Chain A
Amino acid sequence: MFNTRHTLVALVEDKPGVLNRVASLFRRRDFNIESLAVGRSEQLGLSRMTVVVGGDSAKVEQVRKQLDKLINVVKVTDITGEDIVTRELALIKVKATASTRSEIIQIVDIFRANIVDVASDSLTVEVTGDEDKVNSLLELLRGFGIKEVSRTGRIALTRGAI
């Protein structure tokens, strides 16, 4: 019954209002959604949603069952503790001057991230990885002055065969 972070993956119908139904259910059952990412899945008309929430296992299992009852939710699994691949993408606009630019580029290289935009006083970095990697890079860039950050939130799949 520990308070841990859970990753729920839901296959949902791609219809208006579905995101609202899912989000509303978390709110009603007193959950704070840490991140939510949604996009088309491999099946026509179905989207895959990855939701990260904190809570004890019994509570999360309760909300999972409630989600499963939503008519537009085809399937929902709590993949926490399973062998999974998780990724997040972040765009980071960091201040850059003539003197700091090369140092930033070095850091970005170490993280195998990319520079996707260069301006006279800033660089925009694109990074993919698990949250830890994104957090570490952000931490390192903080010293240069971060202007804007946009993160997608976690997406996840279980490894290997289903």
Chain B
Amino acid sequence: MKKTGAQILCESLIREGVEVIFGILGGAVLPIYDTFPQYPQLRHILVRHEQGAAHAADGYARAVHKAGVCIATSGPGATNLVTGIANAYMDSSPMVAITGQVARPFIGKDAFQEADITGITLPITKHNYLVAGAAELAKTIKEAFHIAQTGRPGPVLIDIPRDVQEEKAEFVYPDKVDLPGYKFVSKGHSVQIKRAVKLLKEAARPVIIAGRGIIISQAYDELKELAEKAQIPVINTLLGIGAFPGDHVLNFGMLGMHGLAYANLAVQNADVVIAIGMRFDDRATANTKDFAPQASIIHIDIDPAEIGKNVPIDIPIVGDVKSVLKAMNKEIESRNHLDWLSQLEQWRSEHPSLEIRQNDGLLPQYVIRQISEATRGDAIIVTGVGQNQMWAAQHYIYTKPNSLISSGGLGTMGFELPAAIGAKVGRPEETVWCVAGDGGFQMTIQELATIAQENIAIKIAIINNGYLGMVRQWQELFYQHRYVDTKLWNPDFVQIAEAYDIPGVRVKHREEVIPAIQKAMDYPGPFLIDFIVEPEENVYPMVQPGESLSQILELPKPEVPSKY
């Protein structure tokens, strides 16, 4: 039976297992929205800005390991998605973005609300399509989901002209894709795996650097087996948080610009680095010329273009992390590295990067630590960008797999609130905390309405330092305290929340922290806490731009170490 393009779209989405779509309507997607009532199994969540739709789809995708779907109208609707698409692209998040386009006869005529969205998103999508007719739609959607979700995941955009949505065509959903130019290797090369195993056998000071690839490939058990069997300490990138339990004895935390001192020292003194599902981002490696200077590097990644892109690699293994680790674990021998591990423990005690100093004011690190305690490290944390993000990465003890959702590659302020919505929609049984910056929160603050309308029970912690804090920190350190335009006038966030029918409290003192967090957790719906923290608190440790991972700025030294 013939169906309209809009019906074909909905049927295809259902066949792909889609349950939720985030979006906003407009002229060029009206035929699609008009068919939604025929498909009640597709839940549409109305957001307040298309950027929110894209971030929500991204947060959803990261939480549930399948493509998130967002939809926007042509022109401004489509261009509003761009930041969210770029964000998903940088962090290899699977997404299918659907945009309406002006009807085919109007394309290229600068018609009302026409934007060349396939052209615009060319460098920030894994692939994109402008659908030429309804007959192509099913095949296109099949391909889009396949591309988005396999290999190294990423966003795919499908631009559908309005008249294609209304055009009728025979609906047959293909069960296979035919993409001669799309390939990825899952199984690692056996010779390379043997070489890696041999190198690890001879290693005296090995470290694992765990990246988001482990989470994407859900290779938590395989990573744990490797680390435990060969007794290799595990360091993680920002997005590698949640690849390995935060409370494991072999966990030595995050490396990089704001990595823990002992994590950076471990990498700099290692003789073998095994980098798994990570891409040597400059925030993780610092100056690459002096990155892991004593180490031979094994790099496991599914994307061959990542091998040797930023750092020379001794043993590349292209393949799916899970499959490669499985193969390695079969051959790896039990080892112990007692001297090396005790050296790391010594660095850990000499450089207590997670110690929170005693202070009369309210320290943001303390706030994060209390959220960690209250949730027993078991919540999903979605962060903003800047200082709040770094403190959330450092001071929350992530015990559960895939429990941090953060904008790593693009560093998109405003990601936090909509991404938290997506995460909660994807995993409603989990406690989801949105750790927001007072600056970033205001970039997507309108999504409070989405939360209210859909009763999305996330807990919001604003780390309110009254500054674009991370930028202020750079001005303090590198521009001699000249705080040009980083001070924020802020609205009353609690009143704002109340205006959206979301209860909230303001916390200014240390002793109010625990009760406020408890109140938020006890409340059965969304809740906001505005933490008024020390305005000029800095994130340490810090490796200054251009310097190597060994040059760690640890100031200010803890005055009086507190319990935390």
Contacts and interface: CB of A to CB of B under 8 A. Distances in A.
Interface residues of A, number: 22
Nearest to A24: B122
Interface in B128-173: 130, 147
Nearest to A58: B308
B17 interface: no
Contacts of B130: 16-17
A16 B304 CA distance: 27
A122 to B, nearest CB: 38
Contacts of A71: 126-127, 147, 179, 181-182
A74 B304 CA distance: 15
Nearest to A66: B305
A68 B130 CA distance: 21
Nearest to A17: B118
Contacts of A28: 123
A60 to B, nearest CB: 13
Interface string A67-84: 011111111000000000
B181 A65 contact: no
Contacts of A20: 119, 122
Interface in B170-213: 179-182
A147 interface: no
Range, interface on chain B:
10 to 19
Given A13-B180, A74-B180, A69 B305 contact: yes
Contacts of A21: 122
Interface string B82-126: 000000000000000000000000000000000000110011001
Contacts of A73: 181
B309 interface: yes
Interface in A74-121: 74-75
14 contacts: A21-B122, A24-B122, A58-B308, A61-B308, A62-B305, A65-B304, A66-B305, A68-B305, A69-B303, A70-B127, A71-B126, A71-B127, A71-B147, A74-B180
Given A16-B130, A17-B130, 20 more contacts: A12-B181, A13-B181, A17-B118, A21-B122, A24-B122, A24-B123, A58-B308, A62-B305, A65-B304, A65-B305, A66-B305, A68-B305, A70-B127, A71-B127, A71-B179, A71-B181, A71-B182, A73-B181, A74-B181, A75-B181
The 9 closest A-B pairs by CB, nearest first: A65-B305, A74-B181, A71-B127, A74-B180, A71-B182, A73-B181, A66-B305, A28-B123, A71-B181
